Amino acid sequence: SSSKCILPISYSSQIYEVPAWLSLNYSCTGSAQLWEARPSPGKGMGVFATRALEPGDIILEEPPIIKIIPPDFRDGAAYPLSSIDMLLNSAFDALSEEKQAEVMSLHAHLTPGEENKESANRMLIPIFRSNAYIVGKTNTELGLFPKGARINHSCRPNSSQVWIDKIGKRVVRAVRHIEEGEEVFATYIPLLRDHKARQQRLDQYGFKCTCSACTHDRATQAASDRRRDDIRKAFADFEPQLTLTVPQSIAGRKRAEKNAAASEDLARLVEEEGLADYYAQAYRIVALSYARIEKWEAATRWAHKSYELNLAADEDAPNTLEMRALTEHFIQNWNTDLYNKSNQHG
Ligand SMILES: C[S@@+](CC[C@H](N)C(=O)[O-])C[C@H]1O[C@@H](n2cnc3c(N)ncnc32)[C@H](O)[C@@H]1O
């Protein structure tokens, strides 16, 4: 947008002796652009923060310039390119000349057979393969977002993106503190894989990843690989226990107590590895694990942490609604517990 924030005076606490937020006297007409595209050494173009950002801040949002519904779409597998060729061509032909030029300006990683292709339409497949994101209510569509397409990849990204069906836009948010001038990174691939498997998936984009999870010394990289494997396995192991049924047997209860402790280890591991996209999922597991041993205070706190992260991403998503309902349910149980205890002692 063309809107701007104007800060008329630079604030100094020594002079005003009041909190910064009280002394600030600026006028805002909408939000200024929080990002800019410019070259990123060794990576082509990149997107950079134009001011410091905090987790949850929206960096950019945009509708797709092209959106298609590929047949036989399977999430997690490379999409069947031949079948989307025709769909892409007709979507492209329907665009204005200006928008066609915008699409054609995007980076394309060419495989050996694709070099020397003259016509614009022949470039669509490589452009899509290098830039498209999965979108849609059921994650079965592919969209091209020319601004967001300038965001480079990291296996420890500082931003996360969601398709918000209600507004028909993909929204990019900060998931950790980002310094002014720092590059914004997204992930192009599932991250709970080891370095080798991740690089295999990244080969379709034609680069070797040099992110902090990929370029460390061998020992650090091995530790990261181990953490990601452990996290993936733990997520799968916890899956069958994620019910609200409180175990009745002593042995079952003992197991559930162990699992609650293990679930906190899982949350710590995900945080240690810096996989912000998985925090909400991990916190949900901790919340449910405490609910199964009727530790309602802990269950409430973890459910609320998960809820807040989900809320920041998409207020209408099923996850968000689920975590809100669980938080309310756990608070009620916590409340009843406190009431019963005070009656016992009073
Ligand atoms: C979606 S585009 C990102 C924007 C791109 N750099 C550009 O100039 O338009 C994907 C391409 O960016 C480059 N790229 C993305 N992440 C990278 C990284 N971590 N290291 C090196 N190159 C990267 C690769 O060429 C990849 O095919």
Contact present, 150 and 45 (Cβ < 8 Å): yes
Determine the residue of 48, 104, 107, 158 to mutate for testing ligand 1's pocket, defined as the one with the most ligand atoms within 8 A of the Cβ atom. 107
List pLDDT tens digits, range 165-191: 999 999 999 999 999 999 999 999 999
Specify the pLDDT at position 70.
Answer: 81
CA of 211 to the centre of ligand 1 (A): 12
Specify the pLDDT at position 241.
Answer: 86
Which ligand 1 atom is at minimum distance from the Cα of 153?
Answer: 16
What's the whole-number mean pLDDT along residues 29-50? Answer: 90
Determine the residue of 45, 62, 153 to mutate for testing ligand 1's pocket, defined as the one with the most ligand atoms within 8 A of the Cβ atom. 153
Determine the residue of 152, 191, 203, 208 to mutate for testing ligand 1's pocket, defined as the one with the most ligand atoms within 8 A of the Cβ atom. 152
- Of 137, 117, 135, nearest to 127 (Cα)? 117
Report the chain's C-alpha Rg in angstroms. 24
The helix/strand count (H/E) of the chain reads as 11, 12
- Residue 18: pLDDT over 60: no
CA of 153 to the centre of ligand 1 (A): 7
- Residue 10: pLDDT over 60: no
What class is the 38-205 domain? mainly beta
Which ligand 1 atom is at minimum distance from the Cα of 108?
Answer: 27
- Residue 113: pLDDT over 90: no
Confidence of residue 139 (pLDDT cuts 50, 70, 90): confident
- Joined together, the tokens standing for residue 118 give 């003259």
**What are the strands, taking DSSP E only, across 115-192?**
133-135, 141-144, 152-153, 159-164, 169-174, 183-186
Q: Where are the domains of the chain?
A: 1-32, 38-205, 218-345
CA of 47 to the centre of ligand 1 (A): 11
Length of the chain: 346
Which ligand 1 atom is at minimum distance from the Cα of 154?
Answer: 19
Contact present, 290 and 260 (Cβ < 8 Å): yes
By alpha-carbon position, which residue is closest to atom 4 of ligand 1?
Answer: 150
CA of 81 to the centre of ligand 1 (A): 20
Query: Ligand 1 pocket: which residues have CB below 6 Å?
Result: 42-46, 106-107, 109, 130-131, 149-150, 152-153, 205-207, 209-211
Which ligand 1 atom is at minimum distance from the Cα of 149?
Answer: 1
